[in-house]
Amino acid sequence: MSTEGMKWYVVRAISGQENKTKAHIEQEVQRTGMSSLLGQVLIPTEKVYQIRNGKKVLKERNFFPGYIMLEGILSGEFVHVLKNIPGVIGFLGETKGGDPTPLRASEVNRMLGKVDELAESAEQVSVPFVLGESVKVIDGPFRDFVGTVEKILEDKRKLEVMVKIFGRKTPLELGFMQVEKEN
């Protein structure tokens, strides 16, 4: 499959059904024999850690919910085939009655670079907390206690949180995954 002459487009899809829509696009293109007009179909995702029942769980989350990146030669009948696929709402930047607008090369490079960066940095997560912020403990023996962030230990990926226990302030050292921002 040659990618010469192909451009990148953004397909608007029903949010939460991006994977299903991607599968529908690939099946329909195969069925109609237009696979020479389609390059890659990407759903930009990032890996996120969550605490579920006291265990750290890795989950993939869509970086741009409701959008699918698609490389292809979109013209004539192929555009109509894509628009009629279940879950496809339309194209980003399309003019009424005209062909979809392709992404600029700089946008494509930035998007693909971001996708690669997200794939590589699964372990590296930015510090989601700031000093003095109010947090709620969601895991461990002090579950449901509320306290304030006193120190951030980035290298250990831990926080020192000041919590009131029996009326006295007590420091707790907790992992980033053991607390969440207080609403």
Candidates 3.40.50.300, 3.40.640.10, 3.50.50.60, 2.30.30.30; CATH matching 134-181: 2.30.30.30
Give the confidence band of 145 by pLDDT, cuts at 50, 70, 90: very high
Q: Mean pLDDT, to the nearest integer, of 61-70? A: 87
Q: Mean pLDDT, to the nearest integer, of 96-116? A: 76
CATH 3.30.70.940 describes domain 7-120: yes
| pLDDT of 123 strictly over 60 | no
β strands within 116-181, DSSP E: 134-137, 146-153, 158-165, 168-175, 179-181
Give the number of other CB atoms < 10 A from CB of residue 176. Answer: 20
Ordered by start, the domain boundaries in the chain are 7-120, 134-181
